[in-house]
Structure 1
Amino acid sequence: MANTLAKLIFIPAPGVGHIMSTVEIAKLLVNRDQRLAITVLVIKPPSSSSGSAIDTYIESLAKSTMNRISFIQLPQDETPLVDPKSPMSTFSEFIPSHCKYVRNVVADMISQPGSGRIAGFVIDMFCTCMVDVANEFNVPTYLFFTSNATFLGFKFYIQTLSDDMNKDVIELGNSDTEISVPSFVKPLPTNAFWCLVHTREGLDFVLRSVRKLREVKAIMVNTFLELETHAMESLSADVSIPPVYPVGPILNLEGGSRGGKSFDHDIIRWLDGQPPSSVVFLCFGSMGSFDEAQVKEIARGLEQSGHRFLWSLRRPPSDQTSRVPGEYEDPSVVLPEGFMERTRGIGKVIGWAPQVAVLAHHAVGGFVSHCGWNSLLESLWFGVPLATWPLYAEQQMNAFQMVVELGLAVKIKLDYRKDAYTPKVNTVIVTAKEIESGIRRLMEDNEVRTKVKEISAKSRSTVVEGGSSYASLGCLIEDFVRNVS
């Protein structure tokens, strides 16, 4: 049996969302076909500290045993190549510093008697340096793109603009205009550009990465054809782009518990006491937090909206090197005076949220989100309409896509920015009035609600037998198996 297994080497980027999505697609693949076995090579993030959420998650993976999936935590250099003043160093130096460890692990695997053959590397979009390692072993590389097809098209187009059309992408990104991008139906405002293309260092990394991306055998995207029909058609029409397979939504529907069972139970018990579709849920992802002035505006907006709410409120990181928020011992210290008393019964302020369990609850009728792609897919899966408040990475583009292109969300903001990669970080305060207005539209716009319910049904049907993502994954599995036959 060992010799007939098609072995895949998965290399996710060192972030919770990237690793979790990778684990979910690995589980999906081995459950679909007994001829596959997967080894996940885990890069520990440079900034994680013992006891941090990602550190705990990685340690739990290393100890876990899944059928035909194994995890190897890669060693790290003594001094991680990360400069807190240059966030790009994580991508441009830190991840490539692991190539030698990947090479050693793979050489060791191949040398084991009766080990079978390696069918391919499956790498993350931030790990394109691993293409060269796969080539050394004469093994094909596949890419698992943890974001969406529209954003994938944007990345390819940025390279075309720079390399083929000789355009100054940085100047374009910092201007106030619109540009036609093939994967978008409508012109994209340049103030929604991905944060990495706003600086020379970031753009250089992106261009190197996309050039390597063109060398892979195929690209799997965590999306589905019915959601991103136009983007998929534009990618398929470009012969210079490797074949793209929509295989999503890939979701971790167990959701995990970080606050402890009693903590989660307290939240769910509170939701159990609320009417159906009456609660607006505010949650800004694993790195989302605001300063006190903005927190007070959110509180006033919520109170003035009159809607019930569940608010995941996180404390900003205490030092510059960590980008991960903490918890407030007493959130009332940053909230308007008397807010907790006035909203008792209709509102609940919490720290970290069990997001999947909350979105799945019948009491939740709207989701104010930072527009991370995993969060958007979860919201659509459960049929919960969105209000957009992007913070960093490609979230401004995701927000534009959801509101303007697809009509699956209302906007609180489309162009809000709060990230270390952009020179002109947005310090604008979003006012209570804007927040109140967005929440009212979110909870009262039946057109968006109907569209979201329709796409929810499609997202569930696409991953079962007969669905488009199910068929895409089947094509890839046959390709993996052919590589070793």
Structure 2
Amino acid sequence: MLQLNLAANSLIQTDTQLACFGEKGTINIATSVLEKETIECLKDHFQSIGKEYINIAPLLIVPEPSNLREKSDGEEIQTFLDTMQAQFDVRSVVYISFGTFFWPEITSVSAVIEEFLEEQMPFLLAHPVAELPEELAGQISRSGIAKEVTWAPQQQVLAHSATGWFVTHGGWNSMQEAFRYRVPLIHWPIAAEQPLNAALLSLKFNAVFEVRRGERGTKKPYRCGDGPSPAFTDHSLRKELRALLQSLKGDEARRVRGNFEIIADRLASVWEDGGEAQKAFEGFLNRHFT
């Protein structure tokens, strides 16, 4: 959240959120496309205390994706994605990246890689903050259907027609980019707002898949009424992944992708003329800067 009077800023940091309160009001990077009821409550609350509340999202400055070949390692990534598309068709590659701050335990990563290779599911793995064991990197290199890099130009990868799914911790930035390029998510929440994002999109919208093996998944109460109780072992993770990989090939994947694309279309419209974010931001500028 951004406060409207920077001189009056007061920050409260918790383990899951950063809240900013200003003298005149609050700008919240949120959208009623995803959180309509919450935003309505916040508007009512701020109005009741005589302050302004503005929600504008998504916030993603997106130039047209440049050619992957212009990026570091881009030539190899472009060639890999082109090759996988020719071999397996469009939307066949799973892109795996947990960003620059979060990373699952290496045994879990090994389980994911081995199950994907066993199922002949092509994937691109970006791991900027983790080192892969030499044996694991060798498995990927020898497979012929997978590639690992320390860093990937994420927007360009998501924009490539070979990319069909995105395994992510589910942070807000990655979510916005995925919606921008209409690449549905496989959430693996680890911390912060990620479990909430996963629950919101999987339970309310049926628009993502979810892996419940992350650190926050071990906390009570367990949310497993629609599946087996978690065991929090690598064996249980492998079992979950096998079921997930089968789901990616069937009707459930088509439903999830369709629901995800509906949300993506609605998010794309909020900055168009008359859209929610466009009207809110223009009104804010007119009230405070004209």
Same fold (TM over 0.5): yes
Task: Please name the residue that 2:15 is paired with.
Answer: 196
Equivalence for 1:375: 174
Paired amino acid for 1:269 = T
Is 1:134 matched with 2:7?
Answer: yes
Pairwise CA distance, 1:123: 5.2
Q: Which residue number corresponds to residue 160 of structure 2?
A: 361
Corresponding residue for residue 280 of structure 2 = 472
Q: Which residue of 2 aligns with 1:232?
A: 39
Q: 1:415 to 1:356 in 2, by over 3 A?
A: same
- Deviation, 1:468, is 1.3
1:243 aligns with 2:52: yes
Q: TM-score, normalised by structure 1?
A: 0.49
Q: Which residue of 2 aligns with 1:289?
A: 103
Tell me the equivalent position of 2:220: none
Equivalent positions of 1:383-422 (< 5 A) are: 383-413=182-212, 416-417=215-216
Aligned residue identity for 2:267: S
For residues 289 and 202 of structure 2, what CA distance do their matches in structure 1 show? Answer: 40
Q: CA deviation at 1:285?
A: 1.1
> Aligned pair 1:432/2:231, yes or no?
no
Alpha-carbon contact 1:195-1:393 (below 8 Å) kept = no
**RMSD after superposition:** 3.5
The total of aligned residue pairs comes to: 267
Q: Equivalent residues in 2 for 1:198-347 (5 A)?
A: 213=21, 215-238=22-45, 239-240=48-49, 242-254=51-63, 261-273=71-83, 274=85, 275-314=89-128, 325=129, 328=131, 331=132, 333-335=134-136, 338-341=139-142, 343-344=143-144, 346-347=145-146
Structure 1 residues 361 and 278, CA gap change in structure 2 (3 angstroms): same
How has the CA–CA distance of structure 1 residues 242 and 471 changed in structure 2, closer, same or farther, with 3 Å as cutoff? same
CA contact (8 A) 1:400 1:414 kept: no
Matched AA of 2:7: A
Q: Distance in 1 between matches of 2:213 and 2:60?
A: 25
Q: Secondary structure at the match of 2:76?
A: helix
CA distance in 1, matches of 2:194, 2:150: 22
Q: How many angstroms does 1:243 deviate by?
A: 3.3
Which whole-Å deviations, capped at 9, do the CAs of 1:198-251 have from their partners, x for residues lacking one? xxxxxxxx7xx75x62x4423223333323222222222333484332222111
CA distance in 1, matches of 2:111, 2:92: 21
Gaps of 5+ in 1: 1-11, 13-121, 125-130, 136-140, 144-154, 156-193, 198-205, 315-324, 419-426
In structure 2, distance between residues paired with 1:414 and 1:432: 10
Q: Give yes or no for contact 1:195–1:394 (8 Å, CA) kept in 2.
A: no
**Residue 350 of structure 1: how far off its partner (Å):** 1.8
Whether contact under 8 Å (1:223, 1:248) holds in the other structure is: yes
Code of the aligned partner of 1:248? A
Structure 2 stretches lacking a partner, 5+ long:
218-231
Partners in 1 of 2:55 and 2:185 — Cα distance? Answer: 23
Cα-to-partner distance string for 1:140-181 (whole Å, 9 max, x where unaligned) = x699xxxxxxxxxxx9xxxxxxxxxxxxxxxxxxxxxxxxxx
2:151 to 339, 352, 359: 352
Report the CA distance shift for 1:411/1:364 in structure 2 as closer, same or farther (over 3 A): same
CA shift, 1:334, in A, is 4.7
Contact 1:385/1:442 (CA < 8 Å) preserved in 2? no
How many angstroms apart in 1 are the aligned matches of 2:135 and 2:101? 18
Q: What TM-score do you get using the length of structure 2 for normalisation?
A: 0.78
Alpha-carbon separation, structure 2, partners of 1:477 and 1:277: 40
Higher normalized helix content (fraction of residues): 2
Q: Identity, % of aligned pairs? A: 24
Question: Contact 2:165–2:186 (CA<8 Å) still a contact in 1?
Answer: yes
Structure with larger Rg:
1
One-letter code aligned to 2:276: S
